[in-house]
Structure 1
Amino acid sequence: MTPLETVIDGWQVSRELGSGGFAFVFLGEKNGKSAALKVARHREASGDSKQTHARTLRELTALLMLEHRNVVRPQGYGYTLTGNVYLALDYVDGWTLAEWAERKHPTFREIIRVFENVASALSYMHSRGVLHRDLKLSNVLVRKSDGEPVIIDFSCATYTLAEELTDGGLPPGTDRYRAPEQFKFLQEHKDEHRARYAFQVADEIFAVGVMLHELLTDPRPMELHARFDLNDPRYAPPAPRLVNARIPEALSELVEGILSRSPSRRPVDTESLRRELAELRDDPVPGYDVPAHAPSEQRQLALAEHEGAADSLPPEYAPRRWQGGLTARSRWAGRWGVSIAGAVALVVGVALWRYPAAKREPPVGLDVASVPRAPTAPDSSPPRMGPPAMSLSAPYSLDTPGLALVAAQKEGSTVMTPPAESPTQGRAARMSKKFVAAAECASLSLVAALAAGCPGAQIRPESFTCPTGAEQAMLGDLRWTYGDRFTLVLDDRHGQGDQVWFTAGGDVVGVVPKGMNDDRQREVAPVGTRFYGKAYYLSDKMGRADGPALVVRYDRVKLPGQDEQPICFVVEGTVLAYKDGRVKARNWNGGIVVARWP
């Protein structure tokens, strides 16, 4: 099966909806009915190492066990001409949670209502023995017609007695949404080849907390930029209310509980979580009826960041741009990166640990009572329940009304190893001047932190050797070779001929524009290829003989119609100006595929 096929088992394909690690997703029509066609992504050359057919059939089995208005439903299944199994799923005309938050500017009460329905669906799923295992903003759609959320993409799902298809220690999923205890398990059992983590309901609840935190604190969740390391096991993330002062206190406390480093301190199950959300939804306090992010401030933020005017942003938005600490790759390779995020996360984490009872005054007009915590239980596993009897020898069909499906997007994350959580009782302590100064640094953007002389701002890239996974992807799947040179627009937010101010340590997305005429590049990195990475600054005082340089290290790439792949690609450009952690350079340059840098 390729994205070019126009007919799948009688379904007329009108367009591609997306693609993920295990499948392509297309919009299909047959006999006047629309469906999202999810086709197993099997490549003969790979030997189907991801077992995409088996995963698709397991997804079908899990979905046949469920019938809930907030869960996508199957319409049928079959096989393509090339033998790839496909699922016909309800097509939902809707937005992902991130798109919904940006476009509809929901109030806190509307967000709570959506998550209450998500928790209701999860509670039902868990009662049937089904675990989703890949909850994230892109795997929940909000239907345009009635605002109801629909959980989609069960490619990572499992159920009681299901065969495990993963060889690694952790189940499939997105690292950013994994609970901290998963990484603790991985570290503790790194020498045990057969050790497998047992995914629990508590893991699912943590993922819900990450989604809630992102929507409440990030006015532009659709945008690719650095975010909090919400599963950093050393310290809990800052309370959402410290990032966005509009958030009612009780809601902020609930999210803090959901993201607890100790599973026993999270809601005991998803039904308990649903009840807590229902209590907040019914709270008559007017603070719940204001938008989580004022639309005018969202536009102001977009304009200010586009012009590089970080100091003019509303202060509650500044922490949103803290850089992450460790990536999964760098952690397990033992390379600790020093960045503004590491310093900031440490400062805030220590602050929350050392001064747990320090009073935080709510903003004017938000007098929200706190919600009592849910009781705890020693075990949050779903009940044991076997799959229904079924046969997959012939196409399966169901008459069901239309809903939605889009492909999951890959998202990076950071991982660490957790300590026990500190108690939250005690008398408020007086903060030292050093602590106050550190906290002030923590509230600044990267640019402002550099200007203020705050420690830990990473403006130069670390030396690296290309990881094995990236090497295999480049030399195998992408057919690149070390030394290949590609030209691209370094930051797709600006034009090809622009002179751009890059923030040292900031995220950039490069793109191969139209008009590129190099035959080799057209073959292996064509027009529309997107490169994801970070910009850095190297001065002559940092040991650079050729003078100052802008260095952009891209570590991921996405070719049109394909999955993201890890890479090692570096661009070095001439610096036109440098000021307060910002580098001015031309937005059009060539880079090189490298085995190591420098």
Structure 2
Amino acid sequence: MTLNLIRLPSGTVIDGWHVVKELGNGGFAVVYLVEKNGKPHALKLARHRDASGDEKKTHARVVQELAILLTLSHPNIVSPRGFGYAETGNVFLVLDYVDGWTLGEWKERKHPTAHEILSVFVKLASALAYMHSKGILHRDLKLENVLIRKSDGEPVIIDYSCATHGHADELTDEGLPPGTDRFRAPEQFRFLRAHLDEHRARYAFQVADEIFALGAMLYELLTDARPTQHRDRFTLNHPIAAPLAARVVNPRVPAALSDLVESMLSRDPTRRPVDTEVLRRELAELLEDPGADYTAPVHPPSEQRQPEPAEGGAPAALAPKGKPRSLRLGQLAAGAAVVVLAAVVALWNVPQEAPTPPAEPHVAARAVPPNVPSAPLKTVSPDMSAPAPMFPGDAGTAPAAVQEDVSVKTQRPEAPKQARAGRAQTAPTLPDVCKGLPLVAALAMGCPGVQVRPEPFTCPAGAQEAMRDELHWRVDGERFQLVIDDRKGREEDPWFPAGADVVGVVPKGVTDPRHLQVAPPGTRFLGGKVYLIPEKTRDGDPGRVVVKYDRVKVPGKDELPVCFVVDLPAEAVKDTAAKSRNWGTGKPVSEWP
């Protein structure tokens, strides 16, 4: 039975994490407020386990989210504090609990000035620039995925379930990546229209898409008095017709800020700021402006309390204080006429609806009362709630800086605005951030790459404990026979692509008494990842195939974390694949040299 239908009641214990209440329930995971050692955290539990009926690949998304977050260390990005597997195999991720408001809620409660909004977005752009330098893209930036912490007003980017990196497997079968339609860049819809009949066409998400989403968020805060309310709004990402300038919709918006937002929402991605570091500098430059229009609330609190109009039209809050409402509506009507005309011209370019996954819950969401009881869950996982090392070899410090090779270069500091024109943007590549990652993160990230040997690793303590105490394996001291990829026959010599996911199985015919006792036929090795070592061996083989498995399911036992490695000689190596036999022996290890 999977946990996709279970709602954990208060008091349930998951590997020492005590469930306090449910915070949110999304399409990929359920988020709970939990406590350990008296400290609150957010626990994200995947809806499905690996190898179950998981059409949305919720298990893989949580594992990939964990892998990505383990490579990041930034004050404005949510931090992981633990992870593990429930006894049913559902992976969970423990995060910092951010007691705060979503960006939209913060705006409505605090009535911020342009300066205060800019202060938040400078920090968001800084976090994104740091993230992009590591080849990671969030892909679902929106008001709900930024929390403003109540204690200090710091913004925190959350929910990396849609995030990706340069070596990640795509977890959707659709043309567009997962995300929220309102915050998609218009070029995504143009791509979808152009490749409507191409089943395998996949849009390549870019840094320019992130900049558009950030611009859409900024536009919402500047023009909408109540962004948390669900109602029809101006389209922000029509392939041809741009939305009205923020200053036209709300004259309180400073002109220079309105111009920057307009460039971020440009239909032409090369007209947007060239990357998020350039964007950060432009936002910081505006933040230094001492003008009175930057120090006044962009929406007066009195206007934000006005009711919605009874029939159509713009919200009352959009009418500038002290100016005739008819003039304001006249401006909107003129702008609407332009939009209608452009829409007629672009009739055949109207985007098809792209499938959007249900939004992930944020950790400050209203609790949903649990109503289905559940038995306590036993797990084996590391605990990162204390200032213990997050990376092997660390002494409780943040991971060391990594030298990145980024394909998007930043503009010279003295002229950021000129960088918008004529500069193509490409997605950054994933640098070598894999060294020292925990095994589960390294596997999910596809480390270390195709033409290098697997990075050395030390098996996590939880996996070593499971192999020794639960499975009674002699770690570093015995071998088990298995079929490497259960989708192919034992006698086959298949090609193994680098980075491929495989599941191993112990077949019938094993006769060794020890083997039959601790790894009998039917034992399944899960989470396998293929690596290549394209170097000639001493025996004259052209290379080696190495497969790492990170979990095992022995008949009659719970699924458990392990470190199990198979090392086979390759018969042939070509490009990013190697041919080898599908039968061999593997060993449980405490480390990989």
Alpha-carbon shift at residue 43 of structure 1 (Å)? 8.0
3-state SS of 1:291 partner:
coil
Alpha-carbon shift at residue 62 of structure 1 (Å)? 0.5
1:342-375 deviation digits (Å, cap 9, x = unpaired): 9964535759999xxxxxxxxxxxxxxxx94544
Q: 1:153–1:4: structure 2 CA closer, same or farther, 3 Å change rule? A: same
Greater than 4 Å deviation, 4+ residue runs: 43-46, 306-314, 316-319, 341-344, 348-354, 393-397
> Which of 311, 315, 319 in structure 2 is aligned with 1:315?
319
| 8 Å Cα contact 1:59-1:155 kept in structure 2 | yes
| 8 Å Cα contact 1:251-1:280 kept in structure 2 | yes
Q: 1:58–1:45: structure 2 CA closer, same or farther, 3 Å change rule? A: closer
| 8 Å Cα contact 1:237-1:345 kept in structure 2 | no
Q: 1:265–1:395: structure 2 CA closer, same or farther, 3 Å change rule? A: farther
Q: 1:210–1:219: structure 2 CA closer, same or farther, 3 Å change rule? A: same
The one-letter code sitting in structure 2 at the alignment partner of 1:4 is L
Q: 1:122–1:58: structure 2 CA closer, same or farther, 3 Å change rule? A: same
Which residue of the partner structure matches residue 162 of structure 2?
156
Alpha-carbon shift at residue 394 of structure 1 (Å)? 5.5
Which residue of the partner structure matches residue 381 of structure 1?
427
Alpha-carbon shift at residue 8 of structure 1 (Å)? 2.1
3-state SS of 2:101 partner:
strand
Q: 1:350–1:109: structure 2 CA closer, same or farther, 3 Å change rule? A: farther
Alpha-carbon shift at residue 387 of structure 1 (Å)? 5.0
Measure, in 2, the Cα distance between the counterparts of 1:27 and 1:153.
15
Measure, in 2, the Cα distance between the counterparts of 1:383 and 1:30.
37
Q: Percent identity?
A: 61
Which residue of the partner structure matches residue 7 of structure 2?
3
Measure, in 2, the Cα distance between the counterparts of 1:279 and 1:110.
14
Measure, in 1, the Cα distance between the counterparts of 2:278 and 2:138.
18
3-state SS of 2:24 partner:
strand
1:218-266 deviation digits (Å, cap 9, x = unpaired): 0001111111110011211000111111001000010000000000000
3-state SS of 1:16 partner:
strand
> Which of 106, 114, 126 in structure 1 is aligned with 2:112?
106
Number of equivalenced pairs? 361
Measure, in 2, the Cα distance between the counterparts of 1:119 and 1:280.
14
Which residue of the partner structure matches residue 438 of structure 2?
390
| 8 Å Cα contact 1:159-1:387 kept in structure 2 | no
Which residue of the partner structure matches residue 543 of structure 1?
none
Measure, in 1, the Cα distance between the counterparts of 2:239 and 2:144.
24
Measure, in 2, the Cα distance between the counterparts of 1:396 and 1:204.
37
Measure, in 2, the Cα distance between the counterparts of 1:125 and 1:310.
37
> Which of 67, 89, 96 in structure 2 is aligned with 1:61?
67
3-state SS of 1:35 partner:
strand
Q: Is 1:25–2:31 an aligned residue pair? A: yes
Q: 1:92–1:266: structure 2 CA closer, same or farther, 3 Å change rule? A: same
| 8 Å Cα contact 1:78-1:394 kept in structure 2 | no
| 8 Å Cα contact 1:63-1:73 kept in structure 2 | yes
| 8 Å Cα contact 2:225-2:317 kept in structure 1 | no
Q: 1:86–1:148: structure 2 CA closer, same or farther, 3 Å change rule? A: same
| 8 Å Cα contact 1:13-1:26 kept in structure 2 | yes
Alpha-carbon shift at residue 163 of structure 1 (Å)? 1.3
Which residue of the partner structure matches residue 80 of structure 2?
74
> Which of 217, 235, 254 in structure 2 is aligned with 1:248?
254
| 8 Å Cα contact 2:126-2:276 kept in structure 1 | yes
Q: 1:316–1:380: structure 2 CA closer, same or farther, 3 Å change rule? A: farther
Q: 1:209–1:292: structure 2 CA closer, same or farther, 3 Å change rule? A: same
State the Cα RMSD in Å: 3.3
| 8 Å Cα contact 2:438-2:460 kept in structure 1 | no
Which residue of the partner structure matches residue 347 of structure 1?
338
Structure 1 unmatched runs, 5+: 323-340, 355-370, 398-598
Which residue of the partner structure matches residue 547 of structure 2?
none
3-state SS of 1:112 partner:
helix
1:137-216 → structure 2 map (5 Å cutoff): 137-216=143-222
3-state SS of 2:260 partner:
helix
Measure, in 2, the Cα distance between the counterparts of 1:237 and 1:147.
30
Alpha-carbon shift at residue 297 of structure 1 (Å)? 1.1
Structure 2 unmatched runs, 5+: 346-415, 441-458, 464-593
3-state SS of 1:202 partner:
helix
| 8 Å Cα contact 2:186-2:239 kept in structure 1 | yes
1:333-344 → structure 2 map (5 Å cutoff): none
1:282-331 deviation digits (Å, cap 9, x = unpaired): 011111000010001111x22x5479998976635989x99xxxxxxxxx
Measure, in 1, the Cα distance between the counterparts of 2:192 and 2:292.
45
Measure, in 1, the Cα distance between the counterparts of 2:49 and 2:334.
44
Alpha-carbon shift at residue 59 of structure 1 (Å)? 0.4
Which residue of the partner structure matches residue 141 of structure 2?
135
Measure, in 2, the Cα distance between the counterparts of 1:238 and 1:312.
17
> Which structure has the larger Rg over C-alpha atoms?
2
The one-letter code sitting in structure 2 at the alignment partner of 1:211 is M
Measure, in 2, the Cα distance between the counterparts of 1:352 and 1:242.
20
Q: 1:175–1:311: structure 2 CA closer, same or farther, 3 Å change rule? A: closer
The one-letter code sitting in structure 2 at the alignment partner of 1:378 is A
Q: 1:343–1:56: structure 2 CA closer, same or farther, 3 Å change rule? A: farther
Alpha-carbon shift at residue 160 of structure 1 (Å)? 1.6
Measure, in 1, the Cα distance between the counterparts of 2:148 and 2:418.
28
1:537-591 deviation digits (Å, cap 9, x = unpaired): xxxxxxxxxxxxxxxxxxxxxxxxxxxxxxxxxxxxxxxxxxxxxxxxxxxxxxx
3-state SS of 2:64 partner:
helix
Measure, in 1, the Cα distance between the counterparts of 2:271 and 2:439.
42
1:519-551 deviation digits (Å, cap 9, x = unpaired): xxxxxxxxxxxxxxxxxxxxxxxxxxxxxxxxx
Measure, in 1, the Cα distance between the counterparts of 2:135 and 2:315.
50
Alpha-carbon shift at residue 162 of structure 1 (Å)? 1.1
1:404-438 deviation digits (Å, cap 9, x = unpaired): xxxxxxxxxxxxxxxxxxxxxxxxxxxxxxxxxxx
Q: 1:76–1:279: structure 2 CA closer, same or farther, 3 Å change rule? A: same
Alpha-carbon shift at residue 79 of structure 1 (Å)? 1.8
Q: 1:349–1:380: structure 2 CA closer, same or farther, 3 Å change rule? A: farther
The one-letter code sitting in structure 1 at the alignment partner of 2:319 is P
Alpha-carbon shift at residue 42 of structure 1 (Å)? 1.9
Q: 1:174–1:182: structure 2 CA closer, same or farther, 3 Å change rule? A: same
Q: Is 1:85–2:96 an aligned residue pair? A: no
3-state SS of 1:277 partner:
helix
1:155-554 → structure 2 map (5 Å cutoff): 155-299=161-305, 301-302=306-307, 305=309, 315-316=319-320, 345-348=336-339, 372-376=417-421, 377-386=423-432, 388=434, 389-392=437-440
| 8 Å Cα contact 1:70-1:151 kept in structure 2 | yes
3-state SS of 1:169 partner:
coil
The one-letter code sitting in structure 1 at the alignment partner of 2:260 is L
3-state SS of 1:24 partner:
strand
The one-letter code sitting in structure 1 at the alignment partner of 2:127 is A
Q: 1:383–1:15: structure 2 CA closer, same or farther, 3 Å change rule? A: same
Which residue of the partner structure matches residue 120 of structure 1?
126
| 8 Å Cα contact 1:237-1:349 kept in structure 2 | no
Q: TM-score when scaled to structure 2?
A: 0.57
Measure, in 1, the Cα distance between the counterparts of 2:199 and 2:42.
38
Measure, in 2, the Cα distance between the counterparts of 1:109 and 1:396.
48
| 8 Å Cα contact 2:304-2:317 kept in structure 1 | no
| 8 Å Cα contact 1:178-1:231 kept in structure 2 | yes
3-state SS of 1:216 partner:
helix
The one-letter code sitting in structure 2 at the alignment partner of 1:16 is E
Alpha-carbon shift at residue 3 of structure 1 (Å)? 1.9
3-state SS of 2:148 partner:
strand
Measure, in 2, the Cα distance between the counterparts of 1:261 and 1:30.
48
The one-letter code sitting in structure 1 at the alignment partner of 2:431 is M
